């Protein structure tokens, strides 16, 4: 690793994005004695209120990027919609960005992402690259007649995607996603949605957290149960997928890899997020070293921390006005409430989460 | 409790003092969705770098206190040497201070503190109120001929105290502590130093953490082992002392009560700190709700959290250049490193701590 690593305490870590992930990264960084600079266009962001410094500017603001490059010992990001060009610019300005622009560029384009996994021999849903409604009609038969159309870029939490109900729906579906370059994905007959949160350090070491079992509602993560109740073989496959992905990307930091489990325990990868991940929030109370500290350790060149589960955790997102139940949640024994400091509760907005802890069953890893 | 409690997330909590205790309070407050304003005279303080707002001013700065009173929903403090007059002024300006000025005033004067405990029927060391060297010589015989002289005010971490070796040493001892009003304490033949970290909420409920066993070096806390290996009766007595103290003070927040254990398991109280306490740092990794979150919960009128130990923890302070071992500490399994972000390591300065975790023995509470 470059000579400047491991970064000593007191170093400055830059974070692109000031939402809850940036906030929890900043809290973790502070525990290890680091300072944090947030770059975020919105005023009064959740992360800005726990960071040593906030640059309130668009992500591509030249002056802000120059300041980040000049004052931060490493720069990372809390979400994958930062333009890869911004990370490239940061690097040209002399900044060290982690996980770097390649994972970001791949994750930002669903077609590149699927191709990347297939190139590694990791099974995904069957898919077709879609440039217009004619492509949809043409690809639909070999994708099962009913398939999921997603914009190649910028969709998240179920936005920018729609089911195509048949060839006759091709035109309308194309319009529903805004008429943008897209991917058409065959339906995966999964029995469970899983995810692996894993980290790779600057020396190349990899550490996987126990697999989480996720339930989505309306495209948004609702709960994660971890460690998931899966076979040892499925867990090993999930870890192998995460490890192969991290190594192929020469990745530094925490990654979230979303998986579908089929009825026979086989896995299909859905996508990866080149950052800390909502389905890893259970680690905040379920592990000695949580995913946020793990990410800070990785990008700072520190040794990775232990990822074993200390408890079985059910993480539930608090969406919109659900966070108004904070009083009841705070009174619940063995429940740990995390609130993100967002000023305004809008329907579906992630306002916080609660981790409910149960003792580990002996049989679990 | 006053109608404004419990404080909703998004409320502002004021903290007098910007050291490591303020920093860890700010981190805990952020987890629950609160914002924090720090008042601290020193620039670039550890807490200021994780707080929404910092007022850099002396603790008695009128304008800063007006700002705190006007903008904070509750004000607390991270150390007991804030002048009680400052808290009084804050209250006159309309602020709600917790734990409030009475615990502060009592804790600031070692004679008042001892008298307070004795008034509650809680055993302390025998002592005498000292106004000059003649008082020392007069009191020494009934205090065992050799006794500990401490300034009534402002000593901490072993500063402002000296052993009086005999009547002939009275004059010199008086000069060694700077010739200030003092207390002369009989030596307590203790076998162990213990402490109880306890909290009282706004509804009067009390929660005690398992007792910690403390080792001091040169008057400074070196390690805490928790839960302490003590009898159930000693634990019950320690909890009774803390509870009685909290109730007598109509206290709101976390308190640290230092105790001496005698050879027969009986306890003598040494002193209390009206704040989160160094010997409670083990709770950061040993309990679901640590002492910092507990203090925030209490002053905000939230229900208190669970205080059971999840692991046996040995907390070791990192003093001065010991924190330079961060690389080795970060690589140690089951060790959790906390670094305070202090810019300059001076001999004996508390730079961080490490919590080493071991599984709980079944027989422990």
Quote the CA–CA distance of A62 and A189 in Å, as a whole number: 46
Same domain for B197 and B339, yes or no, is yes
Nearest CA in chain B to A34: B341
- CB within 8 Å: A341 and B288: no
Task: Choose one of A170, A186, A202: the last residue of a domain.
Answer: A186
Give the model confidence (pLDDT) of A306-325 as tens digits.
999 999 999 999 999 999 99
Nearest CA in chain A to B352: A33
B326 at A interface, C-beta within 8 A = yes
- CB within 8 Å: B302 and A49: no
The dihedrals phi and psi of A142, each to the nearest 5 degrees, come to -80, -5
Contacts of B175 (CB under 8 A, 6+ apart): none
For B103, half-sphere exposure in the C-beta direction (CA atoms, 13 angstrom radius) is 27
Establish if A70 belongs to a structural domain. Answer: yes
Task: Choose one of A162, A186, A210: the last residue of a domain.
Answer: A186
- CB within 8 Å: B339 and A9: yes
User: Tell me, what DSSP letter sits at residue A284?
Assistant: H
Residue B48 has pLDDT above 60, yes or no: yes
Establish if A165 belongs to a structural domain. Answer: yes
Nearest CA in chain B to A333: B306
A50 at B interface, C-beta within 8 A = yes
The dihedrals phi and psi of B188, each to the nearest 5 degrees, come to -95, 125
Same domain for B16 and B73, yes or no, is yes
Of A116, A82, A260, give the one whose Cα is nearest residue A186: A260
Nearest CA of chain B to the CA of A50: how many Å? 4
B306 at A interface, C-beta within 8 A = yes
A270: burial class by Cβ within 10 Å (0-12, 13-18, 19+)? buried
CATH of the domain at A161: 3.30.1490.20
Report, as an integer, the average pLDDT of B67-83. Answer: 93
Establish if B353 belongs to a structural domain. Answer: yes
Average of per-residue pLDDT values in chain B = 95
Same domain for A204 and A338, yes or no, is yes
**Confidence band of B363 (pLDDT split at 50, 70, 90):** very low
Q: How many CB atoms lie within 10 A of CB A148?
A: 19
* Closest in B23, B32, B297 to A339, CB measured: B32
The b/e string for A121-138 (b: 16+ C-beta within 10 A; e otherwise) is: ebbbbbbbbbeebebbbe
Q: Which of B50, B331, B336 would best serve as a mutation to test chain A binding (most A beta carbons within 10 A)?
A: B50
- CB within 8 Å: A50 and B26: yes
B358 at A interface, C-beta within 8 A = no
Helix (H, G, I), strand (E, B) or coil at A365: coil
E strand or H helix at B291, and its extent?
Answer: helix B291-299
Quote the CA–CA distance of B127 and B113 in Å, as a whole number: 11
Of B5, B4, B9, give the one whose Cα is nearest residue B32: B9
Residue A105: the pLDDT is 92
Residue B156: the pLDDT is 65
% helix, strand, coil for chain A, step of 5: 30, 30, 40
Give the model confidence (pLDDT) of B274-309 as tens digits.
999 999 999 999 999 999 999 999 999 999 999 999
Nearest CA of chain A to the CA of B289: how many Å? 8
Nearest CA of chain B to the CA of A8: how many Å? 8
Same domain for B265 and B182, yes or no, is no
Contacts of A264 (CB under 8 A, 6+ apart): none
Residue B202 has pLDDT above 50, yes or no: yes
- CB within 8 Å: B9 and A288: no
* Closest in B9, B50, B52 to A30, CB measured: B50
Same domain for B300 and B170, yes or no, is no
Q: Which of B1, B6, B7, B9 would best serve as a mutation to test chain A binding (most A beta carbons within 10 A)?
A: B9
Establish if B285 belongs to a structural domain. Answer: yes
Residue B82: the pLDDT is 85
Residue position matching structure tokens 């190649």: A152
Report, as an integer, the average pLDDT of B122-131. Answer: 97
Of A290, A287, A286, A296, give the one whose Cα is nearest residue A33: A296
Establish if B334 belongs to a structural domain. Answer: yes
Of A284, A12, A210, A42, give the one whose Cα is nearest residue B341: A12
| DSSP line for B191-243 | EEEEEEEEEE-TTS-EEEPPPEEEEEETTEEEEEEES----HHHHHHHHHHHH
Same domain for B227 and B252, yes or no, is yes
Nearest CA of chain B to the CA of A31: how many Å? 5
- CA–chain centroid gap for A109, Å, is 15
Quote the CA–CA distance of B277 and B359 in Å, as a whole number: 24
User: Tell me, what DSSP letter sits at residue A97?
Assistant: B
CB A221 within 8 A of CB A158: no
Q: How many CB atoms lie within 10 A of CB A343?
A: 8
The size of chain A, in residues, is: 365
The domain tally of chain B equals 3
Q: Beta partners for B161? A: B150
- CB within 8 Å: B303 and A334: no
Quote the CA–CA distance of B214 and A292 in Å, as a whole number: 31
CB A160 within 8 A of CB A154: yes
Nearest CA in chain A to B32: A339
Residue A262 has pLDDT above 50, yes or no: yes
- CB within 8 Å: B333 and A306: yes
Same domain for B262 and B229, yes or no, is yes
Task: Choose one of A167, A186, A205: the last residue of a domain.
Answer: A186
B333 at A interface, C-beta within 8 A = yes
Residue A360 has pLDDT above 90, yes or no: no
Same domain for B146 and B216, yes or no, is no
Residue B185 has pLDDT above 90, yes or no: yes
Q: What percent of chain A has pLDDT over 90?
A: 92
Token pair for B75: 């004000």
Residue A154: the pLDDT is 82
Report, as an integer, the average pLDDT of A184-192. Answer: 96
User: Tell me, what DSSP letter sits at residue A144?
Assistant: T
- CA–chain centroid gap for A54, Å, is 23
Q: Which of A8, A48, A49 would best serve as a mutation to test chain B binding (most B beta carbons within 10 A)?
A: A49
CATH of the domain at B72: 3.40.50.20
Distance spanning both ends of chain B, measured CA to CA: 32
Of A34, A39, A27, give the one whose Cα is nearest residue A87: A39
Report, as an integer, the average pLDDT of B334-350. Answer: 95
**ipTM computed for the complex:** 0.94
**Confidence band of A291 (pLDDT split at 50, 70, 90):** very high
Helix A20-31 to helix A291-299 angle (10° resolution) is 70
Residue B81: the pLDDT is 81
* Closest in A30, A34, A333 to B306, CB measured: A333
Same domain for B176 and B195, yes or no, is no
B23 at A interface, C-beta within 8 A = yes
Establish if A115 belongs to a structural domain. Answer: no
Same domain for A242 and A333, yes or no, is yes
CB A339 within 8 A of CB A352: yes
Helix (H, G, I), strand (E, B) or coil at A49: helix
Establish if A120 belongs to a structural domain. Answer: no
Token pair for B340: 């305070």
Residues of B in contact with A338 (CB under 8 A): 31-32
Establish if B108 belongs to a structural domain. Answer: no
Residue B219: the pLDDT is 85
Distance spanning both ends of chain A, measured CA to CA: 32
Residue A79: the pLDDT is 87
- Interface A–B counts its CB contacts (< 8 A) at 105
Same domain for A65 and A150, yes or no, is no
Domain of residue B178 covers: 126-186
Residue B69 has pLDDT above 60, yes or no: yes
Report, as an integer, the average pLDDT of A102-126. Answer: 96
**Long-range contacts formed by A68-72: CB under 8 A, 24+ apart:** A68/A14, A68/A37, A68/A39, A68/A93, A68/A95, A69/A93, A69/A94, A69/A95, A70/A94, A71/A12, A71/A14, A71/A37, A72/A12, A72/A13, A72/A14, A72/A37
Give the model confidence (pLDDT) of A121-162 as tens digits.
999 999 999 999 999 999 999 999 999 999 999 876 667 899
% helix, strand, coil for chain B, step of 5: 30, 30, 40
Residue B194 has pLDDT above 50, yes or no: yes
B292 at A interface, C-beta within 8 A = no
Quote the CA–CA distance of B341 and A308 in Å, as a whole number: 28
Same domain for A169 and A221, yes or no, is no
**Confidence band of A2 (pLDDT split at 50, 70, 90):** low
CATH of the domain at A244: 3.30.470.20
Contacts of A136 (CB under 8 A, 6+ apart): A130, A149, A164, A167, A170, A173, A174, A182, A184
Helix (H, G, I), strand (E, B) or coil at A59: coil
* Closest in A10, A49, A337 to B343, CB measured: A10
């Amino acid at each position: 690793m470059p000579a400047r690593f491991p970064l000593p305490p007191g170093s400055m870590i830059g974070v692109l994005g000031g939402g809850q992930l940036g906030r929890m990264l900043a809290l973790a960084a502070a525990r290890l004695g680091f300072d944090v600079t947030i770059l975020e266009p919105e005023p009064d962001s959740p992360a800005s209120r726990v960071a040593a410094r906030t640059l309130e500017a668009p992500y591509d603001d030249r002056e802000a990027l120059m300041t980040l490059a000049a004052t931060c010992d490493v720069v990372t990001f809390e979400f994958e919609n930062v333009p890869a060009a911004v990370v490239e610019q940061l690097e040209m300005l002399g900044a060290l960005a982690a996980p770097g622009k390649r994972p970001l560029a791949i994750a930002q384009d669903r077609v590149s992402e699927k191709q990347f996994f297939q190139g590694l021999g990791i099974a995904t849903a069957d898919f077709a690259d879609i440039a217009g409604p004619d492509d949809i009609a043409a690809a639909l038969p070999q994708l099962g007649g009913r398939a999921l159309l997603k914009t190649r870029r910028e969709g998240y939490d179920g936005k920018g995607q729609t089911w195509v109900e048949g060839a006759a729906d091709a035109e309308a579906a194309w319009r529903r996603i805004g008429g943008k370059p897209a991917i058409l994905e065959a339906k995966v007959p999964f029995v469970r949605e899983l995810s692996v949160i894993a980290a790779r350090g600057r020396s190349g070491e990899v550490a996987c957290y126990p697999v989480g079992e996720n339930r989505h509602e309306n495209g948004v993560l609702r709960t994660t149960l971890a460690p998931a109740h899966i076979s040892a073989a499925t867990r090993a496959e999930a870890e192998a997928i995460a490890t192969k992905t991290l190594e192929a990307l020469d990745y530094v930091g925490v990654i979230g890899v979303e998986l579908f489990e089929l009825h026979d325990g086989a896995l299909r990868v859905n996508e990866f997020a080149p950052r800390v991940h909502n389905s890893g929030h259970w680690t905040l109370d379920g592990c000695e070293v949580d995913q946020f500290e793990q990410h800070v350790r990785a990008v700072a060149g520190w040794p990775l921390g232990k990822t074993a589960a200390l408890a079985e955790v059910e993480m539930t997102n608090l969406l919109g006005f659900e966070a108004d139940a904070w009083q009841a949640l705070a009174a619940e024994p063995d429940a740990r409430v995390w609130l993100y400091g967002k000023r305004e509760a809008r329907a579906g907005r992630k306002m916080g989460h609660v981790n409910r802890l149960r003792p580990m069953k002996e049989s679990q890893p």
